[in-house]
Amino acid sequence: MRLRFILAFRAAAFLAAAILTAGSGAATAKAQEAPAQQADAGAVPVIAGLPAGARAAAAGIDGEKIRAHVRFLSLDLLEGRGPGTRGGELAAEYIATQFALAGVEPAGENGTYFQRVPLYAVHTVEDKTKFAFVPADGAALDLEYGDEIVAKDQTGQATAEIDAPIVFVGYGIDAPEYHWNDYAGADGKIIDVTGKVVLVIVNEPPSNDEKFFKGKALTYYGRWTYKYEEAARRGAAGVLIIHRDDLASYGWDVVRNSQAVEKSYLEGDPNATLRAAAWIQHDVAQKLFTMAGLGDLDKAIDRAGVPGAFHAVELPVRLKAHIESRVRRYVSANVVGRVAGAEPGGNAVLYTAHYDHLGIDPEMKGDNIFNGAADNGTGCGILIEMARAFAQSPVKPPHAVYFASVTAEEQGLLGSQYLGMHPPVPAAQMGLDLNFDMLLPVGIPRSVNLGGAERIDFWPTVKTVAKAFDLELLPDPSPMAGHYYRSDHFSLARVGIPAFSVDQGDLFAGHDLAWGEAQVADYEEHHYHQPSDEYKADWDFRGNAKLARFGFVLGWLASEQKKPIEWQPGDEFEAARKAGTRD
């Protein structure tokens, strides 16, 4: 088996070399065809604090090298880069090899580029899994799996037996900064939910006040992942999240389909302890409310969002369940490299981009390889090319710069979560993480979305650099979607590291806004998480290169800061930053 893998990787390396050679030729041809556009795309403005050598290194970032990396990483040969698969290993080996060729030092385990990430995947056996609501008096209500309830046993055990009382805890939020605790009963005392099942509402209390759950923008308290984590911290055996289309912003089919496939977890994750991490359909939740004598569910949801109007209550109903799971244990790897700085110590900078995708669907007819060219071959190509630029810069960055291509993002940010738990240097010494994920190579961007950058005190510098690069800063187009909590930078923010993603906006050179919006809409509708997300020869990688240069300059200036970058006072991640500084 190992010999076949080595031979496969040698073949991959040969193809990669050919692609890179072809890419260099394409770069020369493009430069000859459109010198004016190339000059525009490759320009690096003069910015205070950026040495001439660093500016030259940034200007040397080559869109055609990014193209070559994207093309290789999205070949059928890599089988969709599923974590723990041969294709995923090939991708990791390829990225490590590119780091080595560029002169980037290993920063993984035992002198290698690899940080092993131990995982297990859980698939619920639907036809053998049973759920029922059992009232104190009267007949039990059996639930139909898939149409009415879906669940995962987070513990990775083959079977789970649950017979536990249900406690309705509103939105399931404990937010002391807002003087809000949904686990408090009518007497003001916290209800002990150890060994019980908590019933929670998706999302968070509605607000138009920026000082109360940040107004219309979704905070992490509204994410379903938080509901599970908070209940697990309190010792609950399970969670039932009530789904309602308008509050979730997606239909029940999305929930059902996402739970129909296996879900991976980190080995040893202290928050992955629920025997039933479940969702229930709105109408089923209404039946539960009627059975418990609580009346109208929607009115209860309204009350749960009003300060002082809600108190947690234990229902006269138990959840009885038998859950069977197929469990697969495997190991994947983050790929981590380092470029040494001129000075030791803090203010290290981290760049991240996930390399995994969805692998192969054996049940799908026809093309069943999810190549993930845009998602996230583009981010990987940018990461590799930035690493080369830093490593080959004529001047060293002020402090160390790290590059991490992480695994299992599509499984729930697990690779970056592990990286945050085991960073290459203590989190307090990390000044900034910049993440790159799914940047469509359709032209030269004139706008960016940097959601979360305004939450750190480096924000004035970010604005200055964006203006210098002729990049308009756009607000989050859908703040209630909680995009900040859905990409790998979030895993670093959770341990206190100031972090955000560099996302292009919809305005591109030579086109109006409607054109850019149409490109994004077409990708999301026809290619996102589909086998058709494949490399296209007519893609324009000048925009990827521009954003790589932008990220290079931001990282350099962050590394140059005389004091650590901090979260704005009162931010939800400020406490983690301060705790890391004290450790």
pLDDT score of 20 more than 60: no
Domain boundaries, the chain: 2-119+331-582, 122-327
pLDDT tens digits along 387-396: 999 999 999 9
Residue 43: per-residue pLDDT: 84
Counting beta carbons within 10 angstroms of the beta carbon of residue 161, is it exposed (0 to 12), middle (13 to 18) or buried (19 or more)?
exposed
**Cβ atoms 437, 513 nearer than 8 A:** no
pLDDT at site 361 = 85
How far apart are the C-alpha atoms of 319 and 77, rounded to whole Å?
47
- Nearest CA to 199 out of 295, 289, 259 is that of 289
Does residue 583 carry a pLDDT above 60? no
pLDDT tens digits along 234-290 = 999 999 999 999 999 889 998 988 888 789 999 999 999 999 999 999 999 999 999
- Confidence band for 555, pLDDT divided at 50, 70 and 90: very high
495-508 b/e with 16+ CB inside 10 Å = b? bbbbbbbbbbbbbb
9 pLDDT above the threshold of 60: no
Q: The whole model's pTM is what?
A: 0.87
pLDDT higher than 60, residue 120: yes
Looking at the chain, the whole-number percentage of residues with pLDDT higher than 90 is 81
| Strand blocks (E) in 356-502 | 359-360, 369-370, 401-406, 430-435, 447-449, 472-473, 499-501
pLDDT band at 11; cut points 50, 70, 90? very low
Under 8 Å CB-to-CB from 368, ≥6 apart: which residues?
360, 361, 362, 531
State how far the alpha carbon of 523 is from the alpha carbons of 356, 387, 518, in Å. Answer: 19, 28, 9
Q: Which residues of 125-144 are buried (b: 16+ CB within 10 A; e: fewer)?
A: eeeebebbbbbeeeeebebe
If you average pLDDT over every residue of the chain, what do you get?
A: 91
CA pair distance 196, 328, nearest whole angstrom: 27
Q: How far is CA 81 from CA 91, 111, 136, 254, 526, in A?
A: 7, 24, 50, 23, 20
DSSP category for residue 476: P
CATH number for region 2-119+331-582? 3.40.630.10
Q: Pick the residue with more confidence: 576 or 18?
A: 576
Comparing C-alpha atoms, which of 407, 494, 436 is closest to residue 116?
Answer: 407
pLDDT at 41: 52
Tens of pLDDT, residues 162-191: 999 999 999 999 999 999 999 999 999 999
Residue 403, classed as helix, strand or coil, is strand
Tens-digit pLDDT profile for residues 40-69: 456 899 999 999 999 999 999 999 999 999
Average pLDDT of 118-130?
96
By CB atoms closer than 10 A (0-12, 13-18, 19+), residue 486 is: middle
CA angle 278, 280, 281 (to 5 degrees): 150
Dihedral sign (CA 66, 69, 70, 71): positive
CATH of 122-327, one of 3.30.465.10, 3.50.30.30, 3.40.50.1100, 3.20.20.150: 3.50.30.30
51, exposed or middle or buried, with CB in 10 Å at 0-12, 13-18, 19+? middle
Q: How far is CA 506 from CA 259, 273, 479, in A?
A: 32, 41, 16
User: Does pLDDT of 498 surpass 90?
Assistant: yes
> What residues are paired with 328 via a beta bridge?
121
> With bands split at pLDDT 50, 70 and 90, how would you rate the model's confidence at 14?
very low
| 162, two tokens | 């649950």
409-453 residue pLDDT tens: 998 899 999 999 999 999 999 999 999 999 999 999 999 999 999
pLDDT in the model for residue 2 = 38
pLDDT of residue 5: 42
Please state the length of the chain. Answer: 583
Q: Is the peptide bond before 376 cis (omega within 30 degrees of 0)?
A: yes
pLDDT digits over 203-226, tens only? 999 999 989 998 988 999 999 999
CA distances from 432 to 82, 232, 566 (A): 28, 30, 9
